[in-house]
Structure 1
């Protein structure tokens, strides 16, 4: 379980510190005042009244095998996109693995409802166009908190549009692409219900989410081996990062 990363500030509070240092300017987040307003809207309105209740209902009416099949199906649908991005990033091995996964799971795995490929040693290689742009040298750009979408960056929102709508359009219609995206979002939100306590207990949930988001992007860009010291990431739970 991921531990809060603001323990130093908590220690200052417990020690009876009478003053609090002003928040440092985050160069990654030049639109912070707008982003915080959107964050509050996302969490206090959209998530509280729509996405969270839907995710809770999803958990209530499905069992673990069904949820695993939903996850396997949506992951399999994205496998061709993963393969294309792996190729664009100069990873022919990962391209072959994702292609083989799609072929195996789409046939033996009954249209991707069962992840047979993993049992054959073909582990999913998650690649997206945001990572591809990063490999090509494109910087993150400004941090963005988008209505109904959540955290992103100028680079990654471009990548997400390509991954979720442009590339799937080669095989799926627009309504089908939107349906797959919606199902994937609900399944992901349901998987994070048990970890909400981490966000609630942080001193500044907005900053906490932003820091975790950038940690996740670094983790993905370097295939789980970011070029930073081990002690800088020891408080981050790998499973949490993989589900963010």
Structure 2
């Protein structure tokens, strides 16, 4: 989605959040401050996010994203599909180089540099991926991960209408990534094509996990928890630290002592 549109949506979140706690009048005409109790500190905008999630999952995904992804993956020749996806990812490599350097991951930065140079030349602007034959493969780094590596939290959970789960940190990171070359010079329609290819492939990739969402007691909570787990997984390059809930551990120990 173009940056200006996403910025307006996020601004609308903040505006609506302010309206949700605006004072009202009771039957006697006295002004009463309405407050909303949130059970999840990560999701202070839940009252807004839930309707946006319903709209995204029950309507946009059901009637647009999922059918479009199925048509695309079914009727697009595999070699063309792979090539277009490679080209879309290749445009992210310059940003990944800088983001790796900012995290002092110089080896990964060197691999991203090699990937971009080799795939953009021999690989015909990224359509082919000869860099993988040299072992130059790896997850691309986003600026949101750079912020996380320096201790900046995810911030409030967001559901972007029509797009799905996100967070303030991820949106800030995406904005910065969009300022890097070549993203900063790509015109509107080529960028829409790039984002469409990425979105269609990402929707196809989660097709097998779709039933987990449908079977969950609360799909919104399921998606939110999965989102934060995925962000944490990516932040620590697949090796997130094990967090021990001391209060829960104490309750378990007390329960075991009763049986002794």
Matched, 1:48 2:62: yes
Structure 1 residues 134-173: aligned runs within 5 Å: 134-163=148-177, 165-167=178-180, 168-173=182-187
Matched, 1:80 2:94: yes
Alpha-carbon distance, 1:179 to partner: 2.2
Larger Rg: 2
Farther off after superposition, 59-68 or 133-142? 59-68
| Structure 2 stretches lacking a partner, 5+ long | 1-37, 245-260
Alpha-carbon distance, 1:229 to partner: 6.1
Matched, 1:59 2:73: yes
How many residue pairs are counted as aligned between the two chains? 207
Report the 3-state secondary structure (helix = DSSP H, G, I; strand = E; otherwise coil) of the residue aligned with 1:166.
coil
Aligned to 1:213: 227
Please point out which of 100, 119, 124 is paired with 1:105: 119
Separation in structure 1 between the aligned mates of residue 183 and residue 129 of structure 2, nearest angstrom: 24
Separation in structure 2 between the aligned mates of residue 96 and residue 138 of structure 1, nearest angstrom: 26
Separation in structure 2 between the aligned mates of residue 113 and residue 187 of structure 1, nearest angstrom: 15
Separation in structure 1 between the aligned mates of residue 105 and residue 95 of structure 2, nearest angstrom: 13
On the 8 A contact 2:85/2:197 being kept in 1, the answer is no
On the 8 A contact 2:91/2:183 being kept in 1, the answer is no
After the TM superposition, which parts of structure 1 deviate over 6 Å for at least 4 consecutive aligned residues?
A: none
Alpha-carbon distance, 1:148 to partner: 1.6
Aligned to 1:175: 189
Structure-1-length-normalised TM-score: 0.79
Report the 3-state secondary structure (helix = DSSP H, G, I; strand = E; otherwise coil) of the residue aligned with 2:141.
coil
Alpha-carbon distance, 1:177 to partner: 2.3
Structure-2-length-normalised TM-score: 0.74
Report the 3-state secondary structure (helix = DSSP H, G, I; strand = E; otherwise coil) of the residue aligned with 1:220.
helix
